[in-house]
Structure 1
Amino acid sequence: MSKAEIQTTEFFTEREFTCWRERDYEKFYPCQVSKQERDYVSISLGDIAYRFDDTIAEDIARCILDADLVTVGKLYGYIPRPAMRDSDFDSWYKQNSSGTWNYFGEGTFRCHRSGGVLILLERVTDEDDTAEIMGIYTIDDVGIKMVLESSSYSFSKLDAVWLSNALMEAVGEEPLDFLETSTM
């Protein structure tokens, strides 16, 4: 193996996520967050891997936490509104017909594939770019859903906090929330 082929891992963490929509059947899938290359964070969900630049990874972390705050708010009868910030995601809240509030965060990113990994580079600015829409949403039964490239991942609010914190740590920032995120 040449020196150029050796990559040091700057950050690595993993956790078994509860598949939220199939939690009654005790279904789990692995989630790994790592940083091996400067300015890129990788997430592996099940057997699919994605790579994001640091800015997008931080925006994903913040959107996941925003969605999680809405799930907590649903349980306690209030909806927290995070402070406005610059983001590559457009986010909004919407009340459904039963009066429940939901969170929506979506971004459209320039992307390409390399070795089976989908790499999201930056927000789309040109109509000719190959684009992928990524969404982070609340689920009516108090879970979080992340949708990317026709794949959907649903997970619990504790898994959401863990993922948000892992992404922030991978980009070298402090975790956003300190709810219990250790593996049970």
Structure 2
Amino acid sequence: MSKAEIQTTGFFIEREFTCWRERDYEKFYPCKVSKQEGNYVSLSMGDMSYNFDDTLAEDIARCILDADLVTVGKLYGYIPKPAMRDSDFDSWYKQNSSGTWNYFGEGMFGCHRSGGVITFIERVTDEDDTAEIMGIYTIDDVGITLVLESSSYSFSKLDAVWLSNALMGALGEEPLDFVKILTM
């Protein structure tokens, strides 16, 4: 087989994310989503890399989109409630003192480090030394934060849609695309 005939299998996409909490300083960081045939979905944000099994990657994509729907609702004065589904994340909504609604999605997951990559595995239901929190939250000023292990990444609602769709694309699934809602 010649070099021209070699075909790569898998998925890879990348984008520069605006660091939402420091957007006034025009700070960016790279975000990459990839998957090789039969392996974990990989997410690189800045200089950290994470792996998720397919089920967890889809759950993260859906929770990010749920949080994004809340950011859209903040802009238009309503709180959309996503459809109920099975999830490894506990999720809830809370109204702050100024009357703004926020989204919270959290779970404790077993994880292990290998070669600078953190791989999240199944949800942990009882206390475990290897359990790490994973969380997806809205930010009061219409952004989203993703907490993975001890790192936190903040980004815009448009970056959230991109990330949600990228994770679904890595799984070979249709995007959870709400760009039309975001641009109304």
Normalization by structure 1: what TM-score?
0.90
Residue 51 of structure 1 aligns with an amino acid whose one-letter code is N
Q: Deviations over 1:122-146 (max 9, x none)?
A: 1114544611110000000000001
Match of 2:161 in 1: 161
1:70/1:128 Cα in 2 relative to 1: closer, same or farther (>3 Å)? closer
Aligned counterparts of 2:131 and 2:37: Cα–Cα separation in 1: 23
2:151 is matched by which residue type in structure 1? S
For 1:134, the equivalent position in structure 2 comes to 134
**Could you say which residue in structure 1 is the equivalent of 2:74?**
74
| 1:110 and 1:121 in contact (8 A); partners too | yes
**2:69 is matched by which residue type in structure 1?**
L
Match of residue 102 from structure 1: 102
Among all aligned residue pairs of Structure 1 and Structure 2, give the percentage whose two residues are the same amino acid.
86
CA distance in 2, matches of 1:136, 1:125: 18
Q: Give yes or no for contact 1:42–1:50 (8 Å, CA) kept in 2.
A: yes
Aligned-partner Cα distance in 2 for 1:95–1:9? 45
Specify the SS of the correspondent of 1:44.
strand
The answer on whether the counterparts of 1:9 and 1:34 sit within 8 Å (CA) in structure 2 is no
Aligned match of 1:35: 35
Q: Is the 8 A contact 2:64 2:160 kept in 1?
A: yes
**Dislocated runs of 4+, deviation >4 Å:** none
Secondary structure of 2:34 counterpart: strand
Structure 2 runs not aligned, ≥5 long:
1-7
Instruction: Name the counterpart of 2:20.
Output: 20
Aligned length: 173
Partners of 2:20 and 2:126 in 1: CA distance: 36
Q: Mean Cα displacement is larger for which, 143-152 or 155-164?
A: 143-152
| Secondary structure of 2:179 counterpart | coil
State the distance in 1 between where 2:47 and 2:102 align.
28
- Given the two structures, how large is their TM-score scaled by the length of structure 2? 0.90
- Distance (Å, rounded) in 2 between the aligned partners of 1:155 and 1:45: 11
**Per-residue Cα deviation, 1:24-50 (whole angstroms, up to 9, x for no partner):** 111100000000251410000000000
Backbone CA RMSD of aligned residues: 1.3
Partner residue of 1:62? Answer: 62
Match of 1:23, SS?
Answer: helix
- CA distance in 2 between counterparts of 1:19 and 1:133 reads 21
